[in-house]
Amino acid sequence: MKQPQKNAKKTPPLKLPKLPSLLERKIYKTGQTRGADDDVVYQNRVNRNSTVLIPWNSWVECSSPNDSVGIYENGYIVLISPTDYFDNTTDRNIKEQKLILGRNALVYYEERNDWIDNPPKKYGWKPAQNRKYPLGGQYIARIPATTAHSNGKKINEGFTGTDNKGAGIRVYEYASQQTINDTRLQLEAIFWTCRDAIEQTVFSGMTKADAILRKNAISENCERHGLFDKRKLFANRILNGDNVAICPFCLEELSASGFFSRLKQASGREVNDLTVTELNLFHIDALRVGTSNHKPYNLGWGHHHCNIVVKDEGIEQTLQWLRKVLSRNDAHKSSAG
């Protein structure tokens, strides 16, 4: 019997054709957090597995992520208000939870009165600078400017440098790297279910042969990893009965053109640098503190305007509100008639 050669070369994995840049960027961004400006403690558009910021009052339910990994891959920082930190009862609870300033916790100043009553200099504290132990300090401050005080200037201290702007991400936006990879794979497979997906990717620069090759490879890979259960995708309002992508809120079939076309603007109110496309990432169950809702089978693609209507309320709650709105409008019309 012929023995396999020790130095036999392995067959390299199939290299897939690239997606059109706009679509590739849109799928990639689903693994990033939302934007954040300089006056908040959060990082601006970074990976969802970055260091997590956990409010003290959410610590018990958020001490570990509710996912298969069970740990925050890049650690966490618990943010404690000065009011809580200097309360004797809370202070005892903090110690019982093994939270230590400068190690895994920071005092977070948001109110000017707290800054005045318990200034960090009084305790020899320094503003933190590192997202992992040692944090380099004991506190962080984001206090808006005010005219109510003689010295009411804005106070931003800790994590303000160009290379370390923002202390971490919102706890409800967290997802492990494996979850990020799985959701990106699933979201691309959902895109390919659009009836005009091949046509639109060809229009945007792919060859038809490359588009078909990538579509089939992504779909097969997704099914192989248990990420394309059509019954689950239908039940979660991501695909319709024809296995075509739909908006989770209005349930209209999606055209792949919406992934490439900019949002239509009202006449006379156009903005030249608008980058928002017609279709965007859509969470079926909204992101919530204490849950890990950025995950497979809870993400689809939806209309930008539908996303705005739903906001952070969730689909079912928004539908209940709309039913009341429609009912009142119908009653109003009947009264007028």
Question: What is the reported pLDDT for 262?
Answer: 73
- Strand boundaries in 26-133, DSSP class E: 52-55, 76-80, 105-109
d(CA 312, CA 315): 9
**Exposure on the CB side of residue 235, measured as CA atoms within 13 A:** 6
Burial of 156 per CB tally in 10 Å (0-12, 13-18, 19+): middle
Burial category of 8 from C-beta neighbours within 10 Å (exposed 0-12, middle 13-18, buried 19 and up): exposed
Distance CA 178, CA 184 (A): 10
CA nearest neighbour of 48 among 283, 238, 321: 283
Phi-psi region of 311 (alpha: psi -120 to 50; beta: other; left: phi over 0): left
Q: What is the mean pLDDT of residues 16-20?
A: 97
Contact 41, 131 (CB under 8 A): no
Q: Which residue type does 142 have?
A: R
Q: Is 149 left (phi over 0), alpha (psi -120 to 50) or beta?
A: beta
Averaged confidence pLDDT in the chain: 91
Task: Tell me what pLDDT residue 144 has.
Answer: 95
Q: Please give the pLDDT value at position 11.
A: 46
pLDDT in tens, 44-93: 999 999 999 999 999 999 999 988 889 999 999 999 999 999 998 888 89
In the beta sheet, which residues pair with residue 277? Answer: 262
Confidence band for 6, pLDDT divided at 50, 70 and 90:
low
Please determine, for residue 295, whether its predicted confidence score (pLDDT) is greater than 60: yes
Q: Over the stretch 229-251, which tens digit does the pLDDT of each residue have?
A: 999 999 999 999 999 999 999 99
The pLDDT assigned to 272 comes to: 47
Q: What is the pLDDT of residues 170-202, one digit of tens each?
A: 999 999 999 999 999 999 999 999 999 999 999
To the question of pTM greater than 0.85 for the whole model, the response is yes
Residue 7 has pLDDT above 60, yes or no: no
Query: Cis omega before residue 12 (within 30°)?
Result: no
Return all residues near 186 (Cβ < 8 A) that are at least 6 apart.
222, 227, 228, 296, 297, 299
What's the rounded Cα separation, in Å, for the pair 213 and 232?
A: 25
How much is the average pLDDT of 88-107? 92
